[in-house]
Amino acid sequence: MRYRNDLFQSTNPPKNETNNTQKHLFIGVACAALITISYAFFAEKFEPSAPETIALTIPDITTKIEQTGGTKTLITELGITEVQPLTAVNANTPTQSMQSLSTIWQEHKVKSGESLSAIFSSNDLNKLDLHNIVHANDISSQFATIRPGKSLMIGHDISGELSHLIYKKNAYAELKATKLEDGTFKVELLEQEVDRKINTATGVIHTSLFVDGKNAGLSDNIIMQLANIFAWDIDFALNLHEGDRFSIIYEKLYIGSKLIGPGNIIAAEFINQGKSIKTVRYQNAEGKASYYTSGGNSMRKAFLRTPIDFARISSHFNLKRKHPVLNRIRAHKGVDYAARSGTPIKAAGDGKITYRGRKGGYGRVVIVQHGQKYSTLYAHMSKYRKGQRVGSRVKQGQVIGYVGKSGLASGPHLHYEFRVNGVHRNPLTVTLPNANPIEAKYKADFLEKSKTLFEQLEQLSSTQVAVAHISE
């Protein structure tokens, strides 16, 4: 998909209007003549104030749009529905760039496993430009962390040379590289100011976390976060009880007056069968965030109880089981989860792959070693996760393979084993070690910052009980 647009700079901030579109059109420096034209246009629409770079969000463009001389024409043609100010985050003084009057833009959707270098190759772009972009300054290396599904906007000047590269990181931040006269690039992180507004919600379980969460006004995303935070303590599918309650404090993200999406849950309490669990999110100085109890213990365990979603237990751990295929007594030293073929299988904990291959009746097997004491085994896979091998380090929850029926299996399922010091233990009942508590160096900071949040949770919860009594 290609389109053309004019580039110019306006000193007039825009008025916010609504829109949901993905692509951004940046307006940079051009020439005096165009500034005059653009000013004339913006003057009718926006009140003048402090100078700012302007980004225009434009809807899907499927046709090639010819430059017709006036910015106004272009904007009308593109049907722009939103104009928002962006502020440059890096402290570099703005440099005069060699943006021409016309830039030809091309969108590249990042595919899974695709690097910036691969994108440069597939689009016939100059490797020297790639080097200059990635090494432009401190933030330019962020171009190397592009993620699948996101868009890169590639801008060429009239001569076909790369003049701009824009990576839209999320709903409010973009990384922009602009070619300078000497062939190097200026790289800036353009961010819109995001307001994190704090909300609270409480709810009582009557049906399910999903239904009652919705009734409490929570979005799907926040309900998923809530389920993930308490996943190690509460089985939301099997172990919820009528009258269980939750209270949460969470963020909603705004740009201006426009809601752009959910933020994080920053504190939550869940009362399951009368037992209260409270937690607060803490982000350390290195930017790593996790949820902790008031004493600084992690809400996570070192292992997932179940290394697969969308499955049901089809056979329990049983040392005297009659084997369904061999039809004789043979210990079943793991748990079987029936699931559709191809369902992802996750590493139960952080560790290292020590075996990946066929193993008799187990078919395709992966074994992960977690420190000295623990190991987990995953059998009957249809295929392994690409890019991993014996010796690969895996993180808890990382996909390592897919459900199948390789080896001796009557149907697609995961056979999962958990060993402690080499001895098979029942994965469903074995005591799982806690994930690491908050690091000692952050403990004081955590206690100080979390205190108010735990108090607010307490207050929220007691208000909920009081309201419930009044309505009875």
Rounded Cα distance between 112 and 124, Å, is: 19
Residue nearest to Zn ion (CB): 415
| Closer residue to Zn ion, CB minimum distance, 281 or 415 | 415
HSE of 137, CA atoms in CB hemisphere, 13 A: 16
> Which residue carries 């104009």 as its tokens?
83
Instruction: Give the residue with the Cβ less far from Zn ion, 279 or 306.
Output: 306
Nearer residue to Zn ion within complex by CB, 6 or 336:
336
Shortest distance, CB of residue 335 to Zn ion, whole angstroms? 7
Name the segment binding Zn ion (CB under 5 A); options: 40-48, 64-72, 232-240, 410-418: 410-418
CB-based contact 16:84 (threshold 8 Å)? yes
Q: Which is nearer to Zn ion, 334 or 351 (CB)?
A: 334
* End-to-end Cα spacing for the chain: 60
Query: Binding marks (x or -) toward Zn ion, 139..168, rule CB under 5 A?
Result: ------------------------------
Minimum distance from residue 405 beta carbon to Zn ion (Å) = 11
The span from the CA of 7 to the CA of 10, in Å, is 10
Closest CA to 397 of 349, 436, 352: 349
336 lies in the site for Zn ion, by CB under 5 A: yes
* 278 lies in the site for Zn ion, by CB under 5 A: no
Concatenated DSSP letters of 325-353 = TT-SB--B-SEEEE--TT-EEE-SSSEEE
Answer positive or negative: Cα dihedral of 125, 131, 136, 139.
positive
Closest by CA position to 123, among listed 150, 97, 149, 161: 161
Residue 130 contacts residue 184 (beta carbons within 8 Å): no
Q: Could you tell me the smallest distance in angstroms from the CB atom of residue 266 to Zn ion? A: 41
Nearer to Zn ion, 82 or 336 (CB): 336
Of 188 and 336, the one with the shorter C-beta distance to Zn ion is: 336
Name the segment binding Zn ion (CB under 5 A); options: 132-140, 219-227, 408-416, 464-472: 408-416
Shortest Cβ 336–Zn ion spacing (Å): 4
The piece of 97-105, 271-279, 335-343, 455-463 that touches Zn ion (CB under 5 A) is 335-343
For residue 380, the minimal CB distance to Zn ion (Å) is: 8
Closest contact distance (angstroms) between CB of 324 and Zn ion is 9
Min separation Cβ 197 and Zn ion, Å? 49
What tokens does 339 get? 């699931």
What is the chain's alpha carbon radius of gyration, rounded to the nearest angstrom? 28
Amino acid at 38: S
The count of chain residues that interact with Zn ion, using the rule CB under 5 A, is 2
- CB 269 to Zn ion: min, Å: 38
Which one of 25-33, 77-85, 322-330, 336-344 is the stretch in contact with Zn ion (CB under 5 A)? 336-344
Residue 131 or 321 with smaller CB distance to Zn ion:
321
Residue 415 within binding range of Zn ion, rule CB under 5 A: yes
Tell me how far, at minimum, the Cβ of 472 lies from Zn ion, in Å. Answer: 49
Please give the order of strands across the beta sheet that includes 195-204: 195-204, 245-255, 258-272, 275-283, 289-292
Residues 6+ apart with CB under 8 A from 218: 201, 203, 226, 248
**What type of residue sits at position 93?**
T
Between residues 263 and 427, which has the closer beta carbon with respect to Zn ion? 427
Can you give the length of the chain in residues? 472
Footprint on this chain of Zn ion (rule: CB under 5 A): 336, 415
